[in-house]
Amino acid sequence: MDFQTAKTTDKSRGRIEERAITVGNLLNDYLDWLYLGQVFKLERRFTHLASGKVYSDIQYGITSLSGQEGNCSKCCWCI
């Protein structure tokens, strides 16, 4: 697997929330970490409807889940 991306958009509590997660295992060939399964980039963007203000956040992480266990389109928002 190279990289996979899943995206969602939700409107609730007076805001629009856009989320995208990108996961991949390409670093496994370069790093000698015993339980490295995948790396991920989680991007979130919130637009408050009343004020129009936009907030964004990017987080990076690693997980021991393999591509089959941590399928990005099925469980990405459980992180």
Report the pLDDT value the prediction gives residue 60, as an integer from 0 to 100.
Answer: 95
| Three-state helix/strand/coil letters over 28-63 | HHCCCCCCCCEEEEEEEEEEECCCCCEEEEEEEEEE
pLDDT digits (tens, 9 = 90+) for 35-78: 788 889 999 999 999 999 999 999 999 888 776 655 555 554 45
Report the pLDDT value the prediction gives residue 72, as an integer from 0 to 100.
Answer: 54
- Residues, the chain: 79
- Token pair 């021991």 is found at 64
Q: Which CATH superfamily is domain 3-78 in?
A: CAC2371-like domains (2.20.130.10)
Report the pLDDT value the prediction gives residue 69, as an integer from 0 to 100.
Answer: 56
Please indicate whether residue 65 or residue 23 has the higher confidence score (pLDDT): 23
Structural domain boundaries in the chain: 3-78
Please indicate whether residue 3 or residue 67 has the higher confidence score (pLDDT): 3
